[in-house]
Amino acid sequence: MFVVGLTGGIGSGKTAATDCFKTLGIAIVDADIASRVVVEPGREALLRIAEHFGSNFLQADGGLDRAQLRGKIFSDPEAKAWLEALLHPLIAQEIKEGLARADSPYAIFVSPLLVESKQRDLCDRLLVIDVPEQLQIQRTTQRDNNDAEQVQRIIASQASRQQRLQEATEVIENTGALADLQQQVKILHQQYIGLAAASSNTTGKADER
């Protein structure tokens, strides 16, 4: 499967771009969704989290108390390292299985951590949704009702805008209207179909040898 990684900072418009690809019939594999699936009730990872941190990290319905866990790992580096060691391999497996199930000409793998992590190795191309930092702050404070300082802390914890742009094979500048974003996605969609077909032909010839 030809995989296009899609990333961008908080408030850049990753979800809007992903929705555009989805309307064009492209399979989407989302790292955030994978990270939720692996800690669903009944999963081994959730049981281990409750054993390690305590049952008070579970909600009344048995689900994970994400807010409490987030607060714990932000304030305790050892807790963060333990959690990552547990979850990262499980999330990676969930992502790989999702990509293997994709039945479109290519797949979009969306993750906020593509540049920072080894997830980049899963991708043939890297599409960055780019906006200036001030617009990130403006959009996120309006959307999530977060204060600007909190948004700035999140931005600081992610790869920098410059780092993402250096790694990108394609960039969408998402500072305009939704129609502008949709048009840019349509152009890239045709490009990716061609690249995926060329990649498939090359692989097929190699297999024949």
What's residue 65's pLDDT?
92
pTM of the model: 0.85
Final residue in a domain of this structure, among 51, 75, 102: 102
- Judged by phi (left if over 0) then psi (alpha if -120 to 50, else beta), residue 98 lies in alpha
Q: Are residues 9 and 112 in the same domain?
A: yes
Final residue in a domain of this structure, among 57, 84, 102: 102
What's residue 203's pLDDT?
59
Q: Are residues 142 and 197 in the same domain?
A: yes
Per-residue pLDDT of the chain (209 residues; tens, 9 = 90+): 899 999 998 889 999 999 999 999 999 999 999 999 999 999 999 999 999 999 999 999 999 998 889 888 888 899 999 999 999 999 999 999 999 999 999 999 999 889 988 889 999 999 999 999 888 888 888 876 667 887 788 888 788 889 999 999 999 999 999 999 999 999 999 999 999 999 887 655 545 54
Residue 179's CB is within 10 A of a number of other CB atoms, namely 8
Q: Are residues 41 and 116 in the same domain?
A: no
If one counts the domains in the chain, the total is 2
Measured between alpha carbons, how far is 1 from 101 in angstroms, rounded to an integer?
A: 9
Question: 33, 40, 39: which is closest to 98 by C-alpha?
Answer: 33
Which residues span the domain enclosing 186? 1-26+104-203
* Inside any domain, residue 147: yes
Q: Strand, helix or coil at 116?
A: coil
Question: 15, 12, 5, 8: which is closest to 163 by C-alpha?
Answer: 8
Q: Are residues 139 and 196 in the same domain?
A: yes
* Inside any domain, residue 208: no
The CATH number of residue 184's host domain is: 3.40.50.300
Measured between alpha carbons, how far is 50 from 55 in angstroms, rounded to an integer?
A: 5
